[in-house]
Chains A and B, each alone.
Chain A
Amino acid sequence: MVGRRADHRLRSKRKGSVFVVDALTSEILNGVGSFATLAIVALGLGIVFGLMGVINLAHGEFVMVGAYVAFMVQEAGRSHWLAIPIAAIVLLLLGGMIELALIRRIYQRPELTILATFGLSIVLRQLAELIFTKDFRSVVNPVPGATPALGVLYPTYRFVLIAVAVTVVVVTLLTFTRSQFGLTVQAIVADRELAESAGIRTSVVNSLAFGIGAATAGVAGALVAPLGAVEPQIGLTYLPGAFLVVIVGGVSRLWGVVLGAGIVAAVQTGAIHFADAVLAQIVSLLLAVVVLQFGRSSRSGLVA
């Protein structure tokens, strides 16, 4: 959706009116950046909810842990690019262990997953506070400055963020929809007992799926770390947006996360462009209300 619009603007740019087009191009890039961030943060939430029925209120804390991984990699004198795969691995392991220790015991009981992951989010925040204190930490932007592209000067790191986030989202979605592993997961979603009797080790697959959900959040955290302060509470600011995306896009199909992120990013960026950031927040919350109120019939498969 956003991509189509970008094409349109590019075409009109060649006809002239450079100033207006430039402002719009930048705004569209802002929208794409916002889309990429929302999509990668919401992806893990969508995976564990859509496939495992777990409402993970600790998902924001996975983002936070990813950001601290980026901070620690920097403190160890290593490149930020290294931080992204390391964050993925750390969160894959952490997510897998959490599934083993906690989530595994409460499948099929959404209300318990809410309580358990809510508790988990507190534990993770307090642990971060114990280890790192509440002080704001900063991760240095590895590519400061701006790059000329599409007729505008745009921050280089945002291009990187968009590229990495989109790649991670697409690869993860393809893994879950097109690979043997994805088929296995879908078999478990469709009928756990049947899958088990067909020889699928559901417990391993579940751990892995939850771990992958956490890993995408970890990558998101490492990616956003250079764009603000790293502190124990940053997860809380990312979680509402991620839930908004999941509500708007639905999870009956995993690609819904992409759709939801696109709609939310377009609405928010549009509202900021034509009005202001305060209105943008109001509009995106209204969007959730509208979807919840009128989108029910089209989303009845969601509870599967």
Chain B
Amino acid sequence: MIVIALLAAACGRGDNNDSDATTADIDSGSAGTSQDVEAAETDDDSDASTGPSDEPVRIGVLFSNSGPAGVFGPPVSNIGQLIEEDLNEAGGINGRPVEVVFADDASDPEVGRQAMEQLLDSDNVDVVLGTHSSATRAAAKPLAEAANVPYIYAALYEGGECSAVMFNTGEVPSQQLAPAIPWVMQETAGQKWFLLGNDYQWPRRSFELAREYIESIGGEVVGEEYVPLGTQDFASVSQQIASSGADLLFPALVGGDAVAFETQAVDFGIGQDTIARLANIYEENVLAAMGPEITAGMYVTLGYFKEVESEANMAFVERYIETFGEEAAPHATFSSHIYDAALLYASAANDAGTTETGAVIAALEGRSITTPTGDLTITDSRHLLQPIHIAEVQADGSQKIVQSFPAVEPDETCDPS
């Protein structure tokens, strides 16, 4: 009898277990921190310690570095170093050195809540930049509100977030889907969509909006399916799609689920040549894991690709590769959004002359900056006016930008006061 109970306890462990991964990842985060201290010291030397305070400004990054969305983590970890280099080289924030502190949510909202707690209570961060699921955002937001710490959620998401301490700088459906859906339908002459997503709020809300965009221009949704996060076997779902009569597919699958689905779907006869994909979360690291045989021809819509053709971006990407090596996980949309959010924060805090929350939030409202991503402006709805691109994956697996929209307005409303 005891054994049965233990077995039952053991079975439930799949979720809890992730917390140890978090501890390990926070450790590696603090390894990064020791590098930052060095960077900060060099900075102090050059300033001949004339700054008003040597106490660093701590930028917390809440991100997914393990679990299904863990594939997005490595470039985000890398970008922390570049954020520190760039901000410290520019004199820090109000003369104080900048330090980036990471916390991993393990793609799990409960772990994410604890990671947020750690950032706020133990690491005493001045701001939290987030790139993680909407489920984690919902769990972590109340803590940022209670601690009254600015929280810039920088990942693409379903829209609709509004909080006194929050800004949402990731792409929302009105930016990613509203332009891309008609474009892809025209490009492929496809009309019938299948929507396949993981089962949580981002795919569900995105599909609601996608359905509106599709139907408003005479398209049709012939199927909508959800699978649990962490699904391994996509045989049945693949067959449903194959027999649905769809000619277009919008997959809102995260990380490992996306790779498993695409590698299995092709053998069920639903490769890119039969059903064209428009994806809005298949960034470079995920596409690479699927391989070019599977991804060639896919359309991906995101606010940033490392292929963006501007001098500033090409120099930045070159520096990223020089710093982290050819083999490093490539700079992609999630790391780019975290970098931009850090620059937005630094710019606001420098203008406000303080890191005090109320002043920084006031300074963030309406702020415009230019980064390697392009020209960015925080809107009245506390989202981000930003460029949006559509890339087509080439036969060799590389991404080619085939359409760019220089400044896409997020169709959001927010009045937190």
* A23 beta carbon closer than 8 Å to chain B: yes
Cα separation A224 to B230 with both chains bound (whole Å): 14
Using CB atoms, name the residue of chain B closest to A244.
B11
Let me know if A246 is at the binding interface, CB within 8 A: yes
A286 at the interface (CB under 8 A from B): no
Which one of B285-293, B314-322, B333-341, B400-408 is at the interface?
A: B285-293
The stretch from B40-48, B70-78, B374-382 touching chain A is B70-78
Q: Is the CB of A229 within 8 A of B260?
A: yes
Complex Cα gap A79–B235 (Å) = 25
Q: Given A30-B235, A227-B264, do A276 and B289 touch, yes or no (CB 8 Å)? A: no
A-B contacts counted at CB < 8 A amount to 168
Which A residues lie within 8 Å of B228 (CB)? 277-278, 281
Which residues of B (259-284) have their CB < 8 Å from a CB of A? 259-260, 263-264, 266-269
Q: Does B17 contact A (CB under 8 A)?
A: yes
Q: How large is the interface on A (under 10, 10 to 19, 20 to 34, 35 or more residues)?
A: 35 or more
**Distance A158 CA – B351 CA, assembled complex (angstroms):** 60
Cβ of A126 < 8 Å from any Cβ of B? Answer: yes
B289–A136 contact, CB under 8 A?
yes
Inter-chain contact B70/A277, CB cutoff 8 Å: no
- Contact present for B256 and A224 (CB under 8 Å): no
**Cβ-defined contact, B256 with A234, below 8 A:** yes
Residues of B with Cβ closer than 8 Å to A? 1-4, 6-11, 13-14, 17-18, 20-21, 24, 65-67, 70-71, 73-74, 199, 225-228, 230-233, 235-237, 239, 243, 255-256, 259-260, 263-264, 266-269, 285-286, 288-291, 293, 329
From the candidates A156, A239, A292, name the one contacting B4 in the complex (CB within 8 A). A292
13 pairs across A/B with beta carbons < 8 Å? Answer: A134-B74, A145-B267, A155-B267, A231-B256, A234-B256, A243-B11, A247-B7, A272-B236, A276-B226, A277-B227, A277-B237, A296-B1, A303-B3
Partner among A30, A110, A233 whose Cβ is within 8 Å of the Cβ of B6:
A110
Residues in B with CB closer than 8 Å to A155 are 235, 264, 267-268
Q: In this assembly, does A207 line the interface, its C-beta being within 8 Å of a C-beta of chain B? A: no
Q: CA of A134 to CA of B397 in the docked complex: distance in angstroms?
A: 20
| Residue among A55, A114, A121, A138 making CB contact with B291, cutoff 8 Å | A138
**Of A57, A122, A228, which one neighbours B256 at CB under 8 angstroms?**
A228
